């Protein structure tokens, strides 16, 4: 569950960017349309949750679907998204709150990318050190055989 929620959290910024731009253009946007538009671009875990969300919208309504999403995916940004969208469904124009969440999600995405980059740099450095060690070992073995052949010629 933790890995699935982490994958959803990593995929969520792209989804929220799409939702934010759609809702900042017009108040009269149906959430199911936005979810359907994003669904082909979603990762496996996110696509599964969004499919369930679409089913819940068809079964009941958007508010029910958001409450269910909040229960199924207890990730900080998803919970805030659901709260903001529920407020918006009640008729409040909360573009400023949506902008604040977008900024927060963008900072989260940048931090995740930086940590991934640092992880790759560490892995790359470790691989380089191992390869240099192997190369050094090959050079030592080459010179060892060269010296042994030279000693063999003199004996």
Ramachandran class of 30: left when φ > 0, alpha when ψ lies in -120 to 50, beta otherwise: beta
Q: Are 84 and 98 a contacting pair, CB within 8 Å?
A: yes
What the block records as the tokens of 11 is: 């995929």
pLDDT for 107? 94
Q: Are 23 and 98 a contacting pair, CB within 8 Å?
A: yes
Backbone Cα Rg of the chain: 27
pLDDT in tens, 64-84: 999 999 999 998 999 999 999
pLDDT in tens, 8-56: 888 999 999 999 998 888 878 888 999 999 999 998 889 999 999 999 9
pLDDT in tens, 116-152: 999 999 999 999 999 999 999 999 999 999 999 998 8
Phi, psi (degrees; rounded to nearest 5) at 30? -85, 125
| Chain mean pLDDT for the chain | 92
b/e 85-124 (16+ beta carbons within 10 angstroms → b): beebeeeeebeeebeebbeebeebbeeeeeeeeeeeeeee
pLDDT for 110? 93
Q: Note the pTM of the prediction, 2 decimals.
A: 0.76
Annotated domain spans of the chain: 2-114
pLDDT for 1? 81
């Amino acid at each position: 569950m933790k890995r699935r929620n982490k994958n959803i959290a990593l995929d969520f910024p792209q989804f929220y960017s799409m939702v934010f731009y759609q809702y900042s253009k017009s108040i009269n946007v149906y959430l199911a349309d936005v979810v359907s538009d994003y669904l082909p671009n979603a990762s496996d875990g996110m696509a599964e949750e969004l499919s369930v969300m679409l089913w819940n919208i068809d079964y009941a309504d958007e508010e029910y679907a958001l409450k269910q999403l909040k229960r199924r995916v207890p990730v900080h940004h998803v919970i805030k998204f659901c709260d903001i969208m529920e407020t918006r469904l009640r008729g409040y124009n909360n573009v400023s709150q949506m902008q604040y969440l977008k900024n927060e999600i963008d900072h989260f995405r940048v931090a995740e990318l930086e940590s991934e980059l640092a992880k790759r740099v560490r892995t790359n450095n470790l691989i380089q050190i191992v390869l240099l060690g192997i190369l050094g070992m090959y050079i030592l073995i080459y010179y060892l055989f060269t010296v042994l052949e030279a000693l063999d010629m003199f004996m």
